[in-house]
Chain A
Amino acid sequence: MKAKRISLPPGGAVVNKLKSGDRVLISGEIYTARDAVHQRFHKLLAIGCKLPIDLRGQTLFYAGPAPAPKGKVIGSIGPTTSGRMDAYTPLLLAKAGLKAMIGKGRRNPEVISAIKKHKAVYFAATGGAAALLSQSVVKAETVLLPELGPEAVLKLTVKDLPAVVAVDCRGNDLYDEGPKEYKKPIKQF
């Protein structure tokens, strides 16, 4: 199973071809956003305001990196638990035009149906492999809310960031399908 190389922002045709379970290597520009930023963005969208950054067709990476050591582009960076963004995600997909997300872990049914409706995609990157993933970041710049420290919004340029399609645009969920194949009946333990 070879990884597919994809470029971001992802065009509709690329997203259509991705299937849950596909390995991908992501290149292009993405934004980091975690809990605090999602809460702020959601508040703005809910009262009908525009977001300070244009998310149409864009990708959010649920991540807050460690500080960059001297001479490095970025510190260790990896996905945080996506489920914490679930409350905010459907509105970001519907109103802000968000197209892709990178995180780890299961999304709730509302998010999955919003992914389907808006033909978006959710990628899972390996949690806890942050030193490795940081090697794929070639450029990082703080674009919003620096006062949030590790939760600030960064614009990252990534090259071949390894991930897996967890939920495709048809709503197929790898967190449902993947474990089924390996589940053993519980007899007597």
Chain B
Amino acid sequence: MRTISVDKIAAAVEKMCREANCVLPKDTEKALDKALKIEKSPLGRESLKQCLLNAKIAKTQKIPVCQDTGLAVFFIKQGRDLEIKGGPLHEAINKGVANACQNGYLRASCVNDPVFARRNTGSNVPAIIHIEQVPGSRLEINYMPKGGGAENTSRLAMLKPSDGEEGILSFVSETVIQAGANPCPPTVIGVGIGGNLERCALLAKKALMWPVGKANPDKRYNRLEKRILKVINASGLGPQGLGGTVSCLGVHIEHEPCHMSSLPVAVNINCHAHRHQTVVL
């Protein structure tokens, strides 16, 4: 049995939160570069140029790419042969998130109560943490700062099995097109298909963790991803929704078995500042 201390985990989480917020990952920067090459609208190109310059400034000055440093979302794979010493795993993660907020000058965006008090917790905790047990003795931490603007435009539908591929295509593309400028296009789209209500939403979030534009290993789903992407880009929304040819950088689908009477579909939208990072301890 391998052991790891909560302090080590908290320190790793702090480091990754700070880095992921200030340094745009290579896949996202590459996707924005490509978008600038093919975008036809002058205003669209101008805003893409601003995004790329923004990434450079954020990296050199070590300041966040976006002021919305998000709720901290974690997908964790915990090896069964790994013992965590000194406390529960979720506390270690929350400590790392709070330290990153404090020491890394990230924005505290979390309020304590959704309806009544809505008081800022001041440290951006609690984080959203999903833990999965896996074979082995490693701890894999996948982190995504998820901004409110894009998250607010996400949706879920319990379609009928008869709606099929066409129903999914219309629901996903309509959701993204209706969102307009609010999620800061060009967006990255995570789609969850199958499972049940809550599982489907989780699949959509998981799909966002992929590098931008990664092709689905299943050819049928890959074709559906490409079809959705084409429909979104034909909308004319463009960067920032001000008109243009690049409205979306990539569509990723995660799918799972579901009930014989269901076809759950969730759409989780992310902005062009598509930040994510993975560390393995």
Q: Which residues of A contact B (CB under 8 A)?
A: 1, 21, 23, 36, 63-69, 72, 75-78, 80-81, 83, 104-106, 124, 126-135, 148-151, 162, 164, 166, 174-175, 177-186, 189
Contacts and interface: CB of A to CB of B under 8 A. Distances in A.
A182 B51 contact: no
Nearest to B239: A126
Contacts of B230: 189
B149 A76 contact: no
A132 B242 contact: no
B146 interface: no
Q: Which 7 A-B pairs have the closest CB atoms?
A: A178-B243, A183-B236, A182-B236, A179-B236, A131-B58, A127-B184, A132-B54
Q: Which of B67, B69, B152, B181: most chain A CB closer than 10 A?
A: B67
Contacts of B235: 179, 183
Interface string B112-155: 00000010101000000000000000000000000111001000
A30 to B, nearest CB: 15
B61 interface: yes
Contacts of B46: 23
Interface of B: 40-43, 46-47, 50-51, 53-55, 57-58, 61-69, 105-109, 118, 120, 122, 147-149, 152, 169, 180-182, 184, 227, 230-231, 234-238, 240-245, 271-273
Contact of B244 (A134, A151, A182): A182
Contact of A127 (B40, B55, B149, B244): B149
A77 B69 CA distance: 11
Nearest to A36: B118
B17 to A, nearest CB: 13
A178 B242 contact: yes
Contacts of B118: 36
Given A67-B107, A149-B120, A174-B243, A128 B41 contact: no
Contacts of A64: 67, 107
Nearest to A106: B180
17 contacts: A76-B58, A124-B242, A126-B240, A130-B54, A131-B54, A132-B57, A133-B54, A135-B57, A150-B108, A177-B243, A179-B236, A179-B241, A179-B242, A183-B235, A183-B236, A184-B234, A189-B227
Contact of A66 (B53, B107, B236): B107
Contacts of A131: 54-55, 57-58, 61, 63-65
A178 B47 contact: no
A78 B66 contact: yes
A103 to B, nearest CB: 10
A149 B241 contact: no
Contacts of A166: 242
A43 B55 CA distance: 39
A139 B63 CA distance: 17
A150 B69 CA distance: 12
Contacts of B68: 78, 80, 130
A28 B254 CA distance: 48
A147 B65 CA distance: 25
Nearest to B233: A184
Nearest to A177: B243
Given A81-B152, A128-B66, A130-B54, A182 B245 contact: yes
Given A134-B63, A182-B238, 14 more contacts: A66-B69, A69-B105, A75-B67, A76-B66, A124-B181, A129-B47, A130-B64, A130-B65, A130-B66, A149-B108, A175-B181, A175-B241, A179-B243, A181-B236
